[in-house]
Amino acid sequence: MATVIAFWVLAILSVVASIAMVVTKNPVRSALALVGTFICVAAFYILLSAQFIAAVQVIVYAGAIMVLFLFVIMLLNLGSPGALRERGSLQPIIATGLGICFLIALLLSGSLLSLPLPAGVRPAEYEPLGTVRAIGINLYDPNQPWLFPFEATSILLLVAVIGAIIMAKRKV
């Protein structure tokens, strides 16, 4: 019961925050609304007993990426919010159309009409899956198939980091 209440409160909060992010004209407030959405998503992960991913979501998205966004927005000093408005752009119309298509697809797949979790199955029963320990074992155990993809991804990320440093360095 508590889970259901928490779900609906979070659902309303996250939808309101994401709509506010799109609608707000002030870039700083828009960024803040996006942070709110990220935190709501982290809370959803906790409801799904994926605690590790929830913590990482907050650390990486809300704590690092959005702080950089805010940093840039504040440094740019974009002036009056009115000057930022796009005119004669097709983007809002296309975006609305695609969004409606996505909603219809969701409805058709039954995700909105019948919740995917069967009655009687409580998220708490998946609890060991989302802990740091379970994720660590799944990632690093040689018997699991995830060790190679994980290492490949980490090398890709390392290459991206070195590339970013080299590109930034050239201009100095």
Partner 1 sequence: MIFPEFVGGVHLPSLIPYIALAGMVGFILTILPGLIWIERVVIALMQDRSGPNRVGPRGLLQSTADVVKLFFKEDMIPQSADIKIYYLAPFLTVMCAFSAGAVLPLQTLTFRLANGDLQTFPLTVGDVNIGVLYILAISSLQVYGIVLAGWSSNNKYSLLGGLRASAQLISYELSMGLAILCVVMFAGTCQLDKIVDAQSGLPFGIPDGHTFIHEIFKGSIFSWFWLGTGIVPVIIYTIAMIAETNRSPFDLPEAESELIAGFHTEYSSMKFAMFFTAEYVSMLIVSGLNAALFWGGSLPPLNVLPFTLIPGFLWFIIKVMGGIFFFTWLRATYPRLRYDALMNLGWKRMLPLGLVWLFLLAVVSLGRGPAKSADNIPEKPVTASQQVQTNPNAVAHR
Residues binding partner 1 (CB under 8 A): 26, 28-29, 32, 35, 39, 51-52, 54-56, 58-59, 62-64, 67-68, 70-71, 74-75, 118-121, 125-126, 128-129, 131-134, 137-138, 141, 143-144
Alpha carbon 60 to its chain's center:
10
Q: Within 10 Å of residue 130's Cβ, how many Cβ atoms?
A: 19
Distance between CA 56 and CA 63 in Å, rounded? 9
Nearest approach in angstroms of CB 171 to partner 1 is 18
Distance between CA 40 and CA 8 in Å, rounded? 11
Nearest approach in angstroms of CB 29 to partner 1 is 7
Which one, 18 or 70, has the nearer CB to partner 1? 70
Which one, 1 or 119, has the nearer CB to partner 1? 119
Nearest approach in angstroms of CB 50 to partner 1 is 10
**70 to each of 27, 56, 94, 170, how far by Cα in Å?**
9, 19, 27, 25
Which one, 83 or 121, has the nearer CB to partner 1? 121
Which one, 93 or 113, has the nearer CB to partner 1? 113
| Of the candidates 83, 35, 40, 85, the residue with the CA atom closest to the CA atom of residue 63 | 35
Contact yes or no for 18/99 (Cβ under 8 A): no
Which one, 63 or 163, has the nearer CB to partner 1? 63
Nearest approach in angstroms of CB 133 to partner 1 is 6
Q: What angle do CA 48, 49, 51 make, to 5 degrees?
A: 120
Nearest approach in angstroms of CB 112 to partner 1 is 19
